[in-house]
Amino acid sequence: MKRRERALVLLSLSPLIYLLIFVILFRFVFTSDPLYGSHQLSLFLAGFVALLQRFRKHHIQSLLRQSLWRNFLSVLPAMLILLFVGMLIGSWANAGILSSMIFVGTKILFAPTFLPGVTILCGITAVISGSSWTTAGTLGVALMGVGNILGFSPEICAGAIVSGCYFGDKLSPLSDTTNLASSLTGVPLGTHIRYMMKTTIPSFLLCLIAYALWNFYNPPLLVVQNDILNQFFSSEYLSFQPYHMVPVILVFGSAMFGLKAVYSLSLGILSSMLFTYLGGAPLTDMGKSLLFGFYPETGNPNVDALLGGGGIIAILPTEILILTAVWFGGILEGMGYLSEILTLMKKWIYVKWDVLLASMGSSFILNLTTADQYLSLVVPARAFRHLAEEYHIDGKEVSRSLEDSGTITSPLIPWNSCGAFMATSLKISTFAYLPYAWFNLFHIALATSLLLFRKYKK
């Protein structure tokens, strides 16, 4: 590669380099959760420096406004769902639904098989509901509490939950990303799902084995486990009532029948508020739980952390994170950085497997830069459409490659809407659970290795 070409490559990749530098730098400045400041500043400053590099170009300002607005509209539904999930968790905590779910979880899940059980339970629920977000924001929150009670670290619990949620989301015929990838490539939905199983099922089995081995070789300390169990079950806030399951059934049942996430979550919020009102709680307390969340004052911080949370206010740092990611992604798109990166990737294509590898790579880059997993599917599908036709690549291979990267990597990036949602709902940073999201990691490794093997086998 000539010196001029190397300079152009570095210039095209410079925003990503700036982002990496700022993320590392601010990681040492902000000692608390990176969701509360460091990632937002990193994205804003990296975008600002990238903006200064090309701001003098003609007509660039109008393109920038268009790309920022387009990116904002693409993540607006995700931001809205986040607000509803915050209200849902707050209302469920206030109504006692969260404590009932945790109570049931401690009765049906046991420490020796907890991690594989969590992964399977989340996977089944996500397949039925078609939504990793709904599953993580409801069942996942309760399972984090169960894991805490049983003595498991929050990192490994969150990793198992994310793994199960994205396994189910990927194979569900109700999933929005599954339907989107199918429609973008013109592949029948059933064919798309069956072809994805070639990488999805082995990855899921590997992650179950890994969680089972971890569970066996790293059992929770019995003393710690019994101490937390005693604290939890002695709490006056612990109560199980059968009617507490009605909002849970409404949320998952409506999602299963195709109701949009906002409406399903609204049903869960309204029904829980109704039960809270019938229980004698004042309307002001219900309003406060929606806005500020619900935090019981038991005098025991462990129990308070388990049974409290939610509220719109708790979601605001995540919303700001998504907005700064929109700013960063809009600059990359409007200033031409993104198109240059895709053009560079196309220059390295020599065989059909390179097209699929490039589509996977571009999906990951778009997840990294635009904060929206839908764009990570749509843009590569359009950008590599002609090359796929030129190399006579079957549409089902393209659709699988898009999901193998676009869907799977989205919860592993802190400023992506999916990663931000998982971190906010499960109360743990993305970087903390990332090493334990084994389904996602195994899946990426398996899908990439399969393509490389088929490429060099020829």
Which residue in 426, 406, 400, 452 sits closest to 201, CA to CA? 400
> What are the domain boundaries of the chain?
8-23+33-49+57-70+314-457, 75-311
In sequence order, what DSSP letters do the residues of 195-206 get, joined into one string? HHHHHHHHHHHH
Kindly provide the residue ranges of all beta strands, DSSP E only, lying in 185-301, ordered along the sequence.
none
Which residue in 67, 53, 55, 74 sits closest to 7, CA to CA? 53
Residue given tokens 């060099």 in the structure block: 456
Q: How far apart are CA 288 and CA 272, in angstroms?
A: 14
Reading the chain (458 residues) residue by residue, the pLDDT tens digits are: 566 667 777 788 888 888 888 888 877 766 556 566 677 888 899 889 988 887 766 556 677 778 888 878 877 887 888 888 889 888 888 888 887 887 777 777 777 889 999 999 999 888 887 788 888 888 888 889 888 888 888 999 999 999 999 999 888 887 888 888 888 788 888 888 888 998 999 999 999 999 999 988 887 755 455 555 555 555 555 667 788 888 888 888 887 777 777 888 899 899 989 888 887 778 788 888 888 888 877 666 666 767 777 788 888 888 888 888 888 888 887 888 878 877 777 777 777 778 888 888 888 988 888 777 887 888 788 777 777 777 788 888 888 888 888 889 999 998 888 998 899 889 898 999 999 999 999 999 999 988 888 766 65
Q: How far apart are CA 377 and CA 311, in angstroms?
A: 31
Query: Is the backbone of residue 188 left (phi > 0), alpha (psi -120 to 50) or beta?
Result: beta
In sequence order, what DSSP letters do the residues of 136-187 get, joined into one string? IIIIIHHHHHHHHHHT--HHHHHHHHHHHHHHHHHH-TT-HHHHHHHHHHT-
Residue 395 contacts residue 192 (beta carbons within 8 Å): no
How does 301-326 read in b/e, with b if 16+ C-beta sit within 10 Å?
eebbebbbbbbbebbebbbbbbbbbb
CB atoms within 10 A of CB 384: 25
